[in-house]
């Protein structure tokens, strides 16, 4: 790990690291982000591994320009009006993933939606443009610790788990972005922030909080989960039974698909949701058997999601 003052040279070096699948912590106006190429599943998996998150939560994808949305999400008039009013700035909008969405399914934790924001910090803007890829970037702190608002906080918390830290001084806002869900007919505030519900309502009309709608998630934490296949999932399987697909890991004989033939947990995480979906969609299987995945490192988050998927169908 190395901390570098932000300048043209260090930003260019950081962009090279990101394009190669590495991780770079960088300043935004809210907090420091732990950035990785959102289109590279292994880079996204490396973000979860570096943070030590015991589960996969969907991450916010950062863009430099509204034009980048066409590779990511389905937008509507509410989006256009909110982006015109508040972007760049600390407002994250959750939208349906587009059919041709280039972001890894892992950034959405398997959900059909994607959260996007355009940061207004000049260093974040320059880094996004130099990288020329959307960047997944949760707060650059170990899971369960407070969000970093200075480069030194990142160095303390993540140390050598990140390839480079760009120092752009203290963050202006110091609070996470407001998150608004636009995937439903009525917009919902998922996380309050410096841009208030009233300011958003002035642009798009009534915004729900989720509290008045029993079917709506009440907090992002509750909402985070819940991709589960429509067919039963059986864990720690040594082989497929008749009618089952086998999702393998490592040297799995007869695997229908293999999360990582070489037993690489980052590769397995990157493939997890896309492969579950592919097996779920293949009409010829009545269940999915999953080979044992090591319960260590990012394997903990993989097993967490598999256990939820298995529990969902009893
Ligand atoms: P963080 O990146 O740690 O600041 O947190 C991201 C926030 O955005 C969390 O509150 C997530 O639950 C929320 N979020 C990200 N992606 C989605 C999504 N696809 N649907 C709903 N909420 C999301
Ligand atoms: Mg955080």
Q: Which domains does the chain have, with CATH numbers?
A: 3-209 (3.90.870.10), 233-310 (no CATH)
88 prior amide bond cis, ω within 30: yes
Distances (CA, A) of 69 to 118, 131, 148, 214, 312: 10, 16, 27, 31, 33
Question: Pocket around ligand 1: residues whose beta carbon is below 6 Å from it?
Answer: 57-60, 92, 94, 108, 111, 113-115, 138-139, 176, 179, 181, 190-191, 220, 223-224
Round to whole Å and give the CA distance between 195 and 72.
23
Distances (CA, A) of 235 to 205, 287, 309: 46, 11, 10
312 C-alpha to ligand 2 centroid (Å)? 27
Check residue 211 and give its pLDDT.
Answer: 61
Please tell me the predicted confidence (pLDDT) of residue 1: 58
Q: How does strand 244-248 pair with strand 287-290? A: parallel
Distance 20 CA to ligand 1 centre (A): 25
Helices (H) and strands (E) in the chain, counts: 9, 14
CA 142 to ligand 2 center in whole angstroms = 9
Predicted local confidence at residue 2, as pLDDT: 81
Instruction: Kindly report the protein residue whose alpha carbon is nearest to atom 10 of ligand 1.
Output: 220
pLDDT the model gives residue 218 = 42
Distance CA 85, CA 76 (A): 14
d(CA 58, ligand 1 centre) in Å: 5
pLDDT, position 213 = 53
* pLDDT score of 4: 96
Q: Using 70 as the pLDDT threshold, list the residues of the chain that sit under it.
A: 1, 210-227, 313-314
Determine the Cα–Cα distance for residues 131 and 12; give it in Å rounded to an integer. Answer: 8
Return the ligand number nearest the Cα of 92.
Answer: 1
């Amino acid at each position: 790990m190395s901390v570098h003052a932000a300048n043209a040279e260090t930003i260019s070096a950081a962009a090279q690291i990101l394009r190669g699948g590495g991780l770079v912590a960088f300043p935004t106006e809210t907090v420091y982000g732990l950035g990785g190429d959102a289109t590279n599943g292994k880079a996204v998996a490396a973000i979860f591994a570096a943070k030590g998150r015991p589960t996969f939560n969907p991450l916010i994808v950062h863009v430099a320009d509204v034009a980048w949305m066409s590779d990511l999400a389905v937008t509507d008039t509410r989006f256009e009006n909110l982006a015109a009013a508040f972007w760049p700035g600390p407002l994250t909008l959750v939208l349906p993933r587009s059919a041709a969405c280039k972001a890894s399914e892992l950034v959405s934790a398997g959900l059909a939606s994607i959260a996007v924001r355009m940061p207004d910090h000049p260093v974040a803007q320059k880094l996004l443009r130099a990288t020329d890829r959307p960047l997944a970037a949760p707060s650059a702190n170990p899971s369960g610790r407070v969000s970093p608002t200075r480069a030194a906080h990142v160095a303390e918390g993540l140390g050598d788990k990140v390839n480079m830290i760009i120092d752009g001084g203290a963050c202006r806002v110091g609070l996470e972005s407001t998150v608004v869900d636009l995937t439903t007919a009525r917009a919902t505030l998922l996380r309050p922030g410096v841009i208030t519900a009233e300011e958003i309502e002035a642009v798009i009309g009534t915004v729900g909080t989720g509290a008045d709608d029993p079917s709506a998630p009440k907090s992002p934490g509750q909402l985070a989960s819940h991709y589960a296949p429509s067919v039963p999932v059986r864990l720690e399987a040594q082989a497929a039974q008749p009618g089952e697909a086998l999702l393998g890991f490592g040297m799995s004989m007869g695997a229908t698909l293999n999360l990582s033939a070489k037993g690489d947990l980052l590769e397995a995480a990157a493939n997890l949701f896309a492969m579950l979906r592919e097996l779920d969609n293949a009409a010829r299987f009545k269940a999915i058997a999953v080979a044992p995945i090591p319960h260590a490192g990012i394997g903990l988050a993989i097993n967490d999601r598999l256990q939820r998927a298995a529990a969902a169908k009893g």
